[in-house]
């Protein structure tokens, strides 16, 4: 498993009756890979995993595996209310051909460190697939400290990566100090990426080429190019850091003609002044894109 590069946390597109749009999902996967993304991460928070049934999750993974067809890894996000449900999703992901798992702490219950370690360790042990730990204390109320990550790495050979979203820029260096290169570290907050070797990206759903370019400029030490692109991108990247990030990122997708803004309740589409303000920010950013749209593998609007 190669955890390096830009792996979009892919959104789940819905039809007008809020069923999963598998046809669009296939097209979206193709487009993301055509624009330089290294693989696909499905069923995460941005994919509205909490609003999907078990059967829907399995079918989405099946569609992604078929669409990617070996061009890159398909990573299944494993999130659930219970450990047994998380294990069932992990095993199903392995059965349909996913390459790796991104393991989240359980929804709702914010247990102590022993309970959270047991939960993710049980999922790690459920399959031989390469595993990434998703550490997002802001969203999930559970913080895996570097010392706890070291314990898990010592006990589970297939634990190979961390998606670090604590918003503490010192965390990457702290993990490196304890584990050196034992784990790959991806950033999961779109507006912060110091020291990471991968990016589980949100805005890549709508702007994959810009995301890939930004990542490569940073990795290659091209600071002037990176900061120029980052300054342009920042108003959009910040949309990945707020509670209604799914609605916001889907709005950007709709604006570039790659998706729609539909979400599943309890999420609701933006309305009124909030919609107007957000749409203005998006249009202003897209109106000053650093490269002409013709240089990107854009889809036609539908």
Distance of alpha carbon 186 from alpha carbon 201, whole angstroms: 9
Q: Out of 22-26, 167-171, 207-211, 238-242, pick the least confident.
A: 167-171
pLDDT, residue 189, reads 64
Q: Out of 12-21, 40-49, 105-114, 250-259, pick the least confident.
A: 105-114
Distance of alpha carbon 268 from alpha carbon 220, whole angstroms: 40
pLDDT (mean) for 249-263: 98
pLDDT (mean) for 182-198: 74
Residues of the chain with pLDDT > 90: what percent? 84
pLDDT (mean) for 119-145: 94
Residues 240-246: contacts with CB within 8 Å, 24+ apart? 240/189, 240/190, 240/191, 240/202, 240/203, 241/167, 241/189, 241/190, 241/191, 244/270, 245/45, 245/46, 245/202, 246/11, 246/45, 246/46, 246/48
**Partner residues linked to 14 by β-bridges:** 20
Buried b (16+ CB within 10 A) or exposed e, 107-119: beeeeeeeebbeb
Say which residue, 216 or 190, is predicted with more confidence: 216
Distance of alpha carbon 133 from alpha carbon 24, whole angstroms: 28
pLDDT (mean) for 196-214: 94
Q: What residues are annotated to the active site?
A: 134, 163
pLDDT, residue 195, reads 63
Return the half-sphere exposure (C-beta side, CA atoms, 13 A cut-off) of residue 206: 29
Distance of alpha carbon 139 from alpha carbon 163, whole angstroms: 13
Instruction: Give residue-wise pLDDT tens across range 50-102.
Output: 999 999 999 999 999 999 999 999 999 999 999 999 999 999 999 999 999 99
Instruction: Give residue-wise pLDDT tens across range 25-61.
Output: 999 999 999 999 999 999 999 999 999 999 999 999 9
Residues of the chain with pLDDT > 70: what percent? 93
Buried b (16+ CB within 10 A) or exposed e, 174-185: bbeeebeeebbb
Q: Out of 63-67, 129-133, 138-142, 190-194, pick the least confident.
A: 190-194
Structure tokens at 167: 């918003």
Instruction: Give residue-wise pLDDT tens across range 210-238.
Output: 999 999 998 898 999 999 999 999 999 99
Structure tokens at 214: 């930004």
What's phi and psi for 211, nearest 5 deg?
-65, -45
Distance of alpha carbon 97 from alpha carbon 47, whole angstroms: 19
Structure tokens at 255: 């604006």
Structure tokens at 17: 């009756």
Statement: residue 293 has pLDDT above 80: no
- Is residue 250 within 8 A of residue 259, CB to CB? The reply is yes
Instruction: Name the average pLDDT for the chain.
Output: 92
DSSP summary character for residue 290 = S
C-alpha distance from residue 127 to each of 42, 97, 124, 145, 276 (Å): 18, 12, 7, 24, 46
């Amino acid at each position: 498993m190669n955890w390096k590069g830009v792996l979009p946390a892919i959104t789940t597109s819905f039809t007008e009756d809020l069923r999963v749009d598998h046809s669009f999902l296939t097209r979206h996967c193709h487009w993301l890979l055509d624009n330089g993304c290294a693989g696909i991460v499905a069923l995460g928070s941005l994919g509205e995993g909490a609003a999907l049934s078990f059967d829907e999750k399995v079918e989405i993974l099946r569609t992604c595996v078929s669409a990617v067809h070996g061009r890159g890894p398909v990573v299944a996000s494993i999130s659930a209310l219970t450990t047994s449900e998380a294990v069932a999703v992990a095993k199903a992901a392995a059965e349909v051909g996913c390459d790796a798992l991104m393991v989240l702490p359980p929804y709702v219950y914010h247990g102590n460190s022993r309970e959270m370690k047991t939960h993710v360790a049980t999922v790690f042990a459920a399959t031989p697939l390469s595993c990434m730990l998703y550490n997002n204390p802001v969203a999930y109320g559970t913080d895996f400290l570097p010392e706890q990550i070291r314990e898990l790495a010592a006990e589970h050979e297939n634990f190979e990566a961390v998606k670090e979203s604590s918003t503490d820029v010192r965390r990457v260096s702290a993990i490196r100090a304890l584990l050196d290169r034992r784990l790959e570290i991806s950033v999961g907050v779109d507006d912060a990426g110091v020291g990471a070797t991968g990016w589980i990206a949100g805005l890549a759903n709508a702007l994959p080429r810009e995301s890939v370019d930004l990542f490569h400029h940073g990795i290659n030490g091209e600071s002037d190019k990176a900061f120029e692109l980052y300054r342009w991108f920042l108003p959009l990247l910040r949309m990945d850091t707020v509670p209604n990030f799914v609605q916001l990122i889907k709005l950007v997708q709709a604006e570039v003609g790659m998706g729609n803004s539909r979400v599943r309740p309890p999420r609701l589409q933006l309305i009124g002044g909030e919609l107007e303000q957000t749409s203005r920010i998006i249009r202003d950013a897209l109106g000053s894109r650093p490269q002409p749209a013709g240089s990107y593998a854009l889809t036609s609007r539908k």
